[in-house]
Amino acid sequence: AQSVAQPEDQVNVAEGNPLTVKCTYSVSGNPYLFWYVQYPNRGLQFLLKYITGDNLVKGSYGFEAEFNKSQTSFHLKKPSALVSDSALYFCAVRAARGSQGNLIFGKGTKLSVKP
């Protein structure tokens, strides 16, 4: 069965410092991996995705993610955190085979960036 794990419920970072939000996955075959962000009382906003190719994926708002097949990880990173990055972050996966509509989400990681 496909699954996604976000091992940290919360990540605290000082503004200006680099941030990492962790994600590991389990899927049969090649994974399609996504990161979304959710602000309070809002829907999910797409940040980036990995389909194939370069292991370092660049996305919106200065975020990037590194795909590591051997460690089955897809960690989200940003070189310099902003207070406005504080939000709930979700990692999601879908197997290469199967319907496009079914994203499996992690439980989410709350990112708190302090001034």
Partner 1 sequence: KAGVTQTPRYLIKTRGQQVTLSCSPISGHRSVSWYQQTPGQGLQFLFEYFSETQRNKGNFPGRFSGRQFSNSRSEMNVSTLELGDSALYLCASSDGTSGRVDTQYFGPGTRLTVL
Interface positions with partner 1 (CB under 8 A)? 32, 34, 36, 41-46, 49, 51, 90, 92, 94, 96, 98-108
- Our CB check for partner 1 shows the closer of 30 and 84 to be 30
Kindly state the smallest distance separating residue 89's Cβ from partner 1, in Å: 12
Alpha carbon distance 78, 63 (integer Å): 5
- Our CB check for partner 1 shows the closer of 97 and 115 to be 97
Kindly state the smallest distance separating residue 15's Cβ from partner 1, in Å: 27
Handedness of CA 33, 34, 35, 41 (dihedral sign): negative
Q: Looking at the chain, which runs of residues are DSSP E strands?
A: 3-5, 10-14, 19-21, 24-26, 31-38, 44-50, 56-58, 64-68, 73-78, 87-95, 104-105, 109-114
Kindly state the smallest distance separating residue 108's Cβ from partner 1, in Å: 7
Kindly state the smallest distance separating residue 14's Cβ from partner 1, in Å: 28
- Our CB check for partner 1 shows the closer of 83 and 96 to be 96
Chain mean position to CA 38: 11
